[in-house]
Structure 1
Amino acid sequence: MQKSVTLDRKKSFHLPINKLLPFLIPILVLLLWQISSNLGWLSSSVLPSPIAVVQDGIKLTISGELPKNLSISLYRATVGLLIGGGVGFILGFVNGMSHTCRLLFDSSIQMFRNIPHLALIPLIILWLGINESAKISLVAIGTMFPIYINTFHGIRSVDSDLIEMGKSYELSKKQLFFKIIFPAALPQILVGIRYALGVMWTTLIVAETISADSGIGYMANNAEDFMDMETVVLCIVVYAILGKISDLVAKGFESLLLDWQNTGRSNV
């Protein structure tokens, strides 16, 4: 009884530490950054202090410029991810399930996947111009392949014994997919989504600095022209925060959808 109480105390002590540890390095970096700025080790023309960046963010938020461009960037990222992720999932599912489709499509997709998608910018501008469809298309192309490759390999790596067991229980093809194949492939698919989220923001940064008149990338590019370092750094910080939030959302979905895995591990 006493041993269990001691274990509970240790767990309750470790919980706050585990929650604080992820913030330790960012806080130390911010403190060192601010101290270096205050002592004059960092020139404001090279790297403005965190306080100056925060003040610039407050000013741009009050003026409405930051919320407006942030909402535009979020729209482009979300629509591009939904289109590219949807196409990638469908192609990964079809090629993973069908031997004929795999022979027909996979080789061509793999060849196209090895072309850096940012190298397609000149073609996309020529084909679609510099409007929203060009930026969304670029994000869609960038996010399609991580989800495709992980969906494809997730389905292909499902244990054949599980499939045989499902067939022995006379499950229909639909039941076999939803009860065995999809749940077994889901961890790999979610890894692809997390990777695609990172590619999404990287692609959007580039797309919004080329022939754009709105978005966070446009704000950074415009601020660079006027040597406004506070806004440049602010845009970088905003992208970092957006990337972290999207990763936390993806991890939340992993915890929710893969709860059965976490339960199994906690019992070990």
Structure 2
Amino acid sequence: MNAQSPIALAGDPGRLVQPIVRKTAGRSERFSVARRAAGPLIIVALWAISTSAGWIDPSILPSPAGLVAGWQQLWTEQALASQIATSLTRALVGGAVGIAFGLILGTIAGLSKLGEEMFDALLQMLRTIPFLALVPLFIVWFGIGEAPKLLLIALATMFPMYLNTYAGVRNVDRKVIEAMRSFGLGGRRLILEVVLPLALPQIFTGLRFALGVSVLVLIAAEQINASAGLGYLLNSAQLYQQVDVILICIAIYAVLGLSADLIVRSLERLFMPWRAGIAIR
């Protein structure tokens, strides 16, 4: 007997339609790194070919081999590892302070109408101010030491963390909160065990933006009379027109930003394992 098609079975209310499952090819984790690295490797290859063929003046864009030589010189003569550690410490300390304040204020404003009325308007107003415009003011107020650098990074990272935490907490299903209260869960336990876990996706989005912003603001912050760090190397390289050093510092900033993103991705897999592998195709 010929098998009936799903369309024919759909007309019979007493029969169930067998769903047609479309098989999709799974992503190969083995080649994931290779696919991600393909684009940068192609760019580097074209760059090397252009400089070796003489199409690009080395004084404008040094060759990859020239950058490797410049890296070795910076590592031995300018204590590059110490300079990176100084910049990384500034980004982490300032970013940690800003992220902590953003998380706390976002949670308060998301949970409480009073908190929203007290903090939201002020923070929405402050976040529209370009952080570069605050550099002269911070120098006047706090001098040219580490304080203005750390405050600038903290202020810039606080806003994306606040906005995403506020949105995540505010979007938690009210029915879930009422259900947990009916089971006797309230106060701090309700916030820590229900509200914040449900708001984690947007909190991690805010964390990703905040860490990226901390690296961006670090570049501006280290222009404030820095005597050590990547900003100091950039200023010196600009003064002496050392293009190779400028490109090396830019590459290090890019690696710091990529590392911050990878750290957040790892935290997402740790705290939200149910989201691993979710993709449309």
Give the TM-score, by structure 2 length: 0.87
My pick for the range that moved more, 205-214 or 111-120, is 205-214
State the shift of 1:92 in Å.
Answer: 0.8
State the shift of 1:90 in Å.
Answer: 1.1
Aligned partner of 1:82 in structure 2 is 96
Equivalent position to 2:56, from 4, 17, 42: 42
After superposing on structure 2, the runs of 4+ consecutive aligned residues of structure 1 that deviate more than 3 Å are none
Q: Residue type matched to 2:208 in 1?
A: R
Aligned partner of 1:4 in structure 2 is none
- 1:162-211 per-residue CA deviation (whole Å, 9 max, x = no partner) reads 11211122212222212211111111011001001111111111111232
Aligned partner of 2:204 in structure 1 is 190
My pick for the range that moved more, 248-257 or 61-70, is 61-70
1:98-247 equivalent positions in 2, closer than 5 A: 98-247=112-261
Aligned partner of 2:20 in structure 1 is none
State the shift of 1:117 in Å.
Answer: 1.5
Q: Distance between the aligned counterparts of 2:257 and 2:93, measured in 1?
A: 16
State the shift of 1:20 in Å.
Answer: 1.1
Helix, strand or coil: the match of 2:56? coil
Q: Residue type matched to 1:223 in 2?
A: A
Q: In the superposition, relative to structure 1, how do residues 237 and 134 fare at CA in structure 2: closer, same or farther (>3 Å)? A: same
State the shift of 1:68 in Å.
Answer: 1.6
The answer on whether the counterparts of 2:71 and 2:248 sit within 8 Å (CA) in structure 1 is: yes
- 1:222-253 per-residue CA deviation (whole Å, 9 max, x = no partner) reads 11111111111100111111111111111111
Gapped regions of structure 1 (runs ≥ 5):
1-6
Q: State the aligned residue count.
A: 257
Decide which structure has the larger Cα Rg and report it: 2
Aligned partner of 1:24 in structure 2 is 38
- 1:60-111 per-residue CA deviation (whole Å, 9 max, x = no partner) reads 1123521121111011001001111111111111111111121122111111
Identity %: 38
Give the TM-score, by structure 1 length: 0.91
Higher share in helix: 1
Q: Distance between the aligned counterparts of 1:95 and 1:109, measured in 2?
A: 11
Q: Residue type matched to 1:153 in 2?
A: A
